[in-house]
A and B are shown apart, each in its own frame.
Chain A
Amino acid sequence: MSTKYFETWEEYSERRKDHIHPGEEQYMKEVLQNYDAEMLNFILTLIM
């Protein structure tokens, strides 16, 4: 889920432009999708 606190891959890759290294896309997509989702879930859990 995109929020102002978490980047999408599109936003990240735009920021990194043509400096993206081999392996970075695969790794960062996992971070942005899974880890950010986990952190969002944690934030929501704080008021459950």
Chain B
Amino acid sequence: MYDEALHQERQSIFEDVYNGRIPKRVPISAWITVDFAIQYSGMDVFEAQWHPDRMEAAFRKVAEEFFADTLPVHDAIRFPAMYEILGAKNFIMGSNGYLQHPEITPMKAEEYGELAKDPIGFIVETLLPRIYSELDTTPEKRSIIMAKAYKAFNDTVGYMNGVLLPKLEKEYGFYQAPAGSGSMTAVPLDYIADQMRGFKEFSSDVRRHKKDILKANAALLPIMLNKGIPPAPNRNNYTFMPLHMPPYMRTKDVEELYLPDLKRIVEEIDAAGGKANLFLEHDWMRFLDHLSEFPENTVYRFEFGDAQKIKDKLGDKFIICGLYPVGLLKTGTEQECIDEAKRLFDILAPGGGYIFDFDKNIITTDSVNIDNLKAVLNFVREYGKY
């Protein structure tokens, strides 16, 4: 189970890539979700999510049966307990046992000024009671419900990320990042669009309320920046930032409303001694020139795109990952799946700066052919040697 030599290799290959050196082999990351692990271990997905203590067996099974250099269970960030306590409208349990994120618009277009004037106050006093029905009550009840929700959050997300996952990383000898060096944040515009205004309304705001958006962005920037700098920044770990809206906006709007804040956050994290890992959701090909201006060794996880163009434009300065299509693991033959991995390695691995990962998180067992997934992970372990 634990192999000291393999553990040391994992530490060295990540530290090499993260610091601009060519590693012994390409590090392998596989973003398999908690939901996948529950299904794969044969547990009931509805029931298991209410029992954090039962997750360990599920995570062990995935850790033992799928090769990766990081613990192949990620995304332990959403469990139903907290959302049910709060009466959530933003995350609702679906009939298949997965928390779904419906489009919500708790903030009105004419409220940008209030958000800009006092972001935390507006979130706490106005938005949270609209998003979470159980908080729409007296201050006394609200404080008790918040305390219960915070306990549920720590019993689930806190336990997973603070106790269980680090324990398994150590026990199995996966890559271990320095303590306190990870974080997560968002670009102000995404923060507004995702769950304040919603995709549809925000898309209209870009044309009708541009000045208001700029003011709200400016007010949120120090808060998002503060959230993104971990307690102990380190080049060997990262602040994760899922990026959402630019592929759905005009380039000139992105240049005005989005990229300056994104660049500032990434630069501040870099200046603090950390590193940003940007998950470029959907198609970012028209922004490669913009991305080329960011700090060296920033991690770009691409969902879509031309691997050769990405390598040519960003390969010398940055760390590229993603791009491997999860969909192929479902529809392709084993040889087709391996051929695609080989194609990506031949383009992206030369000269370093490449971490193998998929284009999307693998969230259900039926979204891939399990044999194909295992075959690809085993193949890249050998093929990625420099």
Q: How far is the CA of A42 from the CA of B186 in the complex (A)?
A: 14
Contact assessment for A40 and B150 in the assembled complex, using a CB-CB cutoff below 8 Å: no
B193 CB to closest chain A CB (Å) equals: 11
Residues of B contacting A42 with CB < 8 Å? 150, 153
A45 neighbours in B (Cβ, 8 Å): 153
**Besides the known contacts A3-B121, A47-B90, A48-B194, 10 further A-B residue pairs in the complex with CB atoms under 8 A apart:** A1-B223, A5-B121, A5-B124, A39-B150, A42-B150, A46-B128, A46-B132, A47-B123, A47-B196, A48-B186
Q: Which residue of A lies closest to B196 (CB)?
A: A47
In the complex, chain B residues whose CB is within 8 Å of the CB of A48: 184, 186, 191, 194-195
Which secondary structure characterizes the binding site on chain B? helix
Residues of A contacting B90 with CB < 8 Å?
A: 47
Complex alpha-carbon distance, A1 and B121, angstroms: 13
Task: Assign chain A's interface to a size class.
Answer: 10 to 19
A residues 1-48 touching B (CB-CB < 8 Å) = 1, 3-5, 39-48
Nearest A residue to B222 via CB reads A1
Q: List 19 A-B contacts (CB under 8 A).
A: A1-B226, A3-B120, A3-B121, A4-B118, A4-B121, A39-B150, A41-B227, A42-B150, A43-B120, A43-B124, A44-B123, A44-B227, A46-B131, A47-B90, A47-B127, A47-B191, A47-B195, A48-B184, A48-B195
CB distance from B370 to the nearest CB of A (A): 31
B:348-379 near A, CB below 8 Å: none
